[in-house]
């Protein structure tokens, strides 16, 4: 089940000085609940968003989280997933879940895998077992996981050619075309299997085509024939320069079918999210907020902050003075800038990091995820109020200020 309604679009200014963007404010209804878009989806690879309690995720307003099909297939495995009727009850998360197809993970195994028309042969990184993942297999696993959004099995076209004779050259048009066409054929097989399994959830197709606009167009045209209820753009943020990523976002975003949700996979930094919304994307996921938190890299309204830096040793201010998360503002949620003094200081977080204490990553993860979720909340609110252009301007000015 999937129902997608567009509530607002970003209008031009009355004096014509602002032409509007492709940004949309939407509402996505799925089997486990409603998701307000644009939305950021925290990544819960092994059935847990690393370093954070489900309870905190709820409190921060997370609406939908990711699970990784490949990882969950390896551990705990399908038998346990079946026993729990899928991922929701197992991980105690009762709102929507999106699962990827496992394609990106087997592709990332490099030397350990072999791709053919039928699927991908690889050795389990957990126990060395010889395994075979196909479009049909991916659909079967995701049906067992009972995720609200199922992703088609695709081949993620690499930025640098995988041909050993290419000596690190970029993927050629020919290689990218072959890969994109394989993904299209797999899309068709996924759709057939998804239907055969009578999966009650929603299957998304994935636009591939590497760095080539015309291949992206062909991929999109092929997917449109299949009429998936949602469309993703994959194969970005795979090592290409930022300009190429933005070029693809600018090219693909506005061309996606207007009445369907648009998901930009694996992106990105806060700036990328704002840029993506401008190009008409509705859904984003990325490990940055959680992974960076564990490395002491914190996002704030006024730029990023490395808590390991000695300059924080005596700093009594919270990470972000305008932030209402538990780390910055304690239980009351009153930001420091509004007189709240319940948060944890940078000095304390610096100390936790230095001592290798778990509470450091725990508080940092809460903060970073809150920052991402709150940014999307502010974007939705700005779109509701026809004030998105102002938000974009303020966002860039604030982020440039420095923390």
> Which of 354, 377, 386, 394 touches a second copy (CB under 8 A)?
354
Q: Which residues is 35 bridged to in the sheet?
A: 28
Q: Contact 288/308 with Cβ under 8 angstroms?
A: no
Which among 100, 148, 282, 320 is annotated as catalytic?
Answer: 100
* Minimum distance, C-beta of residue 45 to a second copy, in the bound complex (Å): 9
- Looking at beta carbons only, is 6 or 347 nearer to a second copy? 347
* Minimum distance, C-beta of residue 354 to a second copy, in the bound complex (Å): 6
* Minimum distance, C-beta of residue 271 to a second copy, in the bound complex (Å): 28
- Looking at beta carbons only, is 139 or 293 nearer to a second copy? 293
285 is catalytic: yes
100 is catalytic: yes
- Looking at beta carbons only, is 53 or 403 nearer to a second copy? 53
> Which of 273, 362, 375, 391 touches a second copy (CB under 8 A)?
362
Q: Tell me which residue of 151, 156, 154 sits closest to 199, measured CA to CA.
A: 151
x/- string (CB under 8 A) for a second copy, residues 7-46? ---------------------------------------x
- Looking at beta carbons only, is 249 or 288 nearer to a second copy? 288
- Looking at beta carbons only, is 84 or 302 nearer to a second copy? 84
CA 34/CA 47 separation, integer angstroms: 20
- Number of residues interacting with a second copy: please give it, by CB under 8 A: 40
Q: Does 287 bind a second copy (CB under 8 A)?
A: no
Q: Which of residues 64-93 bind a second copy (CB under 8 A)?
A: 75-76, 79-80, 83-84, 90-92
* Minimum distance, C-beta of residue 356 to a second copy, in the bound complex (Å): 9
Q: Vertex 330, ends 329 and 331: CA angle to 5°?
A: 120
* Minimum distance, C-beta of residue 40 to a second copy, in the bound complex (Å): 20
- Looking at beta carbons only, is 135 or 318 nearer to a second copy? 318
Which among 148, 282, 285, 320 is annotated as catalytic?
Answer: 285
Q: Does 50 bind a second copy (CB under 8 A)?
A: yes
Q: Contact 349/357 with Cβ under 8 angstroms?
A: no
Token readout for 318 is: 């919270």
* Minimum distance, C-beta of residue 79 to a second copy, in the bound complex (Å): 8
* Minimum distance, C-beta of residue 316 to a second copy, in the bound complex (Å): 7
> Which of 52, 133, 215, 323 touches a second copy (CB under 8 A)?
52
- Looking at beta carbons only, is 90 or 302 nearer to a second copy? 90
HEC readout, the chain: CEEEEEEEECCCCCCCCCCCCCCEEEEEEECCEEEEECEEECECCCCCCCCCCHHHHHHCCCCCEEECHHHHHHCCCHHHHHHCCCHHHHHCCCCCEEECCCHHHHHHCHHHEEECCCCEEEECCCCCCEEEECHHHHHHHHHHHCCCEEECCCCCCCCECCCHHHCCCECCHHHHHHHHHHHHHHHHHHHHHHHHCCCCCEEEEEECCCCCHHHHHHHHHHHHHHCCCEEEECCCCCCCCHHHHHHHHHHHHHHCCCCCCEEECCCCCHHHHHHHHHCCCCEEECCHHHHHHHCCEEEECCEEEECCCHHHCCCCCCCCCCCCCHHHHCCCCCCHHHCCCCCCCHHHHHHHHHHCCCHHHHHHHHHHHHHHHHHHHHHHHHHHCCCHHHHHHHHHHHHHHCC
CA 261/CA 35 separation, integer angstroms: 11
Q: Does 332 bind a second copy (CB under 8 A)?
A: no
> Which of 26, 38, 42, 47 touches a second copy (CB under 8 A)?
47
x/- string (CB under 8 A) for a second copy, residues 302-331? -----------xx-x---------x---xx
Residues that bind a second copy (CB under 8 A): 46-48, 50-53, 55, 75-76, 79-80, 83-84, 90-92, 313-314, 316, 326, 330-331, 342-345, 347-348, 350-352, 354-355, 357-359, 361-363
Positions annotated as catalytic residues are 100, 285
């Amino acid at each position: 089940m999937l129902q997608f309604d567009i509530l607002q679009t970003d209008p031009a200014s009355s004096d014509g000085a602002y032409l509007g963007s492709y940004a949309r404010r939407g509402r996505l209804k799925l089997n486990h609940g409603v998701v307000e878009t644009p939305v950021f989806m925290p990544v819960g690879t092994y059935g847990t968003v690393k370093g954070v309690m489900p309870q905190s995720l709820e409190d921060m307003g997370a609406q939908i989280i990711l699970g990784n099909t490949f990882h969950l297939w390896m551990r705990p495995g399908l038998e346990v997933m079946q026993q729990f009727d899928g991922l929701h009850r197992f991980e105690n998360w009762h709102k929507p879940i999106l699962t990827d197809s496992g394609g990106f993970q087997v592709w990332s195994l490099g030397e350990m895998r072999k791709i053919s028309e039928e699927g991908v042969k690889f050795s389990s990184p957990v126990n060395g077992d010889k395994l075979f993942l196909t479009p049909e297999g991916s659909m079967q696993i995701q049906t067992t996981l009972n995720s609200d959004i199922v992703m088609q099995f695709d081949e993620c076209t690499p930025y640098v050619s995988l041909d050993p004779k290419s000596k690190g050259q970029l993927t050629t048009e020919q290689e990218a075309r072959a890969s994109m066409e394989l993904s299209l054929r797999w899309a068709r097989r996924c759709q057939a299997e998804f239907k055969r399994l009578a999966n009650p959830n929603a299957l998304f197709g994935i636009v591939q085509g590497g760095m080539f606009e015309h291949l992206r167009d062909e991929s999109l045209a092929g997917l449109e024939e299949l009429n998936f209820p949602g469309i993703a753009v994959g194969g970005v943020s795979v090592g290409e320069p930022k300009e190429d990523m933005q070029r693809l976002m600018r090219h693909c975003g506005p061309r996606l079918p207007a009445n369907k949700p648009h998901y930009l996979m694996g992106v990105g930094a806060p700036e990328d999210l704002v840029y993506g919304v401008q190009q008409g994307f509705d859904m984003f996921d990325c490990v940055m907020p959680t992974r960076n938190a564990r490395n002491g890299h914190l996002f704030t309204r006024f730029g990023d902050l490395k808590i390991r830096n000695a300059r924080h040793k005596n700093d009594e201010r919270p990470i972000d003075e305008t932030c209402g998360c538990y780390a910055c503002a304690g239980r009351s949620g009153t930001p420091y800038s509004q007189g709240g003094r319940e948060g944890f200081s940078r000095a304390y977080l610096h100390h936790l990091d230095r001592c290798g204490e778990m509470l450091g990553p725990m508080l940092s993860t809460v903060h970073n995820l809150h920052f991402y979720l709150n940014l999307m909340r502010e974007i939705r609110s700005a779109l509701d109020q026809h004030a998105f252009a102002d938000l974009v301007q303020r966002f860039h000015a604030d982020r440039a200020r420095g923390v």
